[in-house]
Amino acid sequence: MTEPASPDAPRTSPAWEAWTIRGVAALALVVAVVLATLAWGAVVHGHPAYAVMLAVTVLLAAITLWRWRRARRAGGAALLGLRVLGIFATLAWVALIAWLKPFTATEPALSAMKSDGAVSVTESATQIVMRPTGETSGVALAFQPGARVDPRAYAAVLRPLVEAGHPVVVTKQPLGIAFLAMGGFEQAKATVLEAGTWVVGGHSLGGTVAAIEADTEYPTDQSGPAGLLLYGSYPAGDMTSYEGAVLSVSGSEDGLATPADIEASRADLPDDALYWVVEGGSHAQFGAYGDQPGDGEPTVTDDEAREQIAAASLAFLDGPLEG
């Protein structure tokens, strides 16, 4: 026969509360581990902010599961409200880290990340630096990746520029968001001191941020970007007064920065801006990271698109900027 509970015994949380907290904690733990596994290369080689988010998620979830292995003492309505709020906050956090999962770089970008006799490739927590091993041009490129795209994904399309003598610095953005890496151009300048002329460029959202960096008013003792290189991108506002050179490279099948978007962006760019359309090219073909939701269906191969993008970019760096 079960003895009745002592009236002085502390009340424990209701079963639904304990199991809900355990379930949400377990969900957060599993999602963080799965995301890390699926995007391991991008997590390891990207800016550490996302890796820290995943690690913190795993740690806090594990601690929560340990603390709630048995029902905890019940509190009043205020404590219950805080716990319910914590449950919804955790679910929102899990949704956020899932949305932030990066598009992981694929071949041939991964092979292009290797140093050889023509190109030296080094990485830090915030940059990928690609330098020519031979004669170096005075024109360098500071590049911003697209949103949530593994920065290594652009190595293959940018490597021909480096082989032609142009140093390239790819910014590793916190959480893969270009707006969180607004200082990428200044960091690139501090890394490649030998470059006398700089172009800022970027893909998609990265191009929008590059346009902001290009159109920023710099102190008189500092040189700003002499050019802007846009890949499937356009500025967020009017920069018709920008005095540097501009090249907009777009794809006719781009479903994210559509041909209509690119056409409309002409009103925000200088009159002498240059435009190159990759016929049959899509948004994701500016890098090597697989398919992207919302993109169009390309009608040219990745190799053909990459060759056109690299050729147009190199002509831009060697043309109006080299002279």
Q: Which domain holds residue 317?
A: 109-321
Are residues 187 and 56 part of one domain? no
In tens, the pLDDT along 228-265 reads 999 999 999 999 999 999 999 999 999 999 999 999 99
Q: Tokens 């953005």 map to which residue?
A: 173
pLDDT in tens, 41-66: 999 999 999 999 999 999 999 999 99
* pLDDT at 133 (0 to 100): 97
Q: Check pLDDT > 50 for residue 98.
A: yes
Q: Residue 139 pairs with which residues in a beta bridge? A: 197
- Residue-wise pLDDT tens digits, 111-166: 999 999 999 999 999 999 999 999 999 999 999 999 999 999 999 999 999 999 99
CATH for 251: 3.40.50.1820
End-to-end CA distance of the chain: 95
pLDDT bucket at 3, cuts 50 / 70 / 90 = low
Distance, in Å, from the CA atom of 168 to the CA atom of 195, rounded to the nearest integer, reads: 10
Report percent pLDDT > 70 for the chain: 94
Is 137 contained in some domain? yes
pLDDT of residue 222: 78
On whether both 169 and 307 belong to a single domain, the answer is yes
Rounded average pLDDT over 101-116: 98
Of the residues 78, 99, 120, which one is the last residue of a structural domain? 99
145 and 202 assigned to the same domain: yes
CA 239 to each of CA 37, 38, 59, 259: distance values in angstroms, whole numbers, following the listed order = 42, 40, 46, 19
Output the average pLDDT for the chain.
Answer: 94
Where among 47, 64, 99 does a domain terminate? 99
Q: Is 195 left (phi over 0), alpha (psi -120 to 50) or beta?
A: beta
Q: Is residue 9 part of a domain?
A: no
In a domain, 3, yes or no: no
2 domain-assigned: no
Q: Which helix (H) or strand (E) holds 20?
A: helix 15-38
- 95 and 115, same structural domain? no
Query: Is 247 within 8 Å of 214 (Cβ atoms)?
Result: no
Query: What digits encode the pLDDT tens for the residues 293-319?
Result: 999 999 999 999 999 999 999 999 998
Question: What digits encode the pLDDT tens for the residues 258-275?
Answer: 999 999 999 999 999 999
269 and 308 together in one domain: yes
Q: Say how many residues make up the chain.
A: 323
Bond preceding residue 108 cis, omega within 30 of 0:
yes
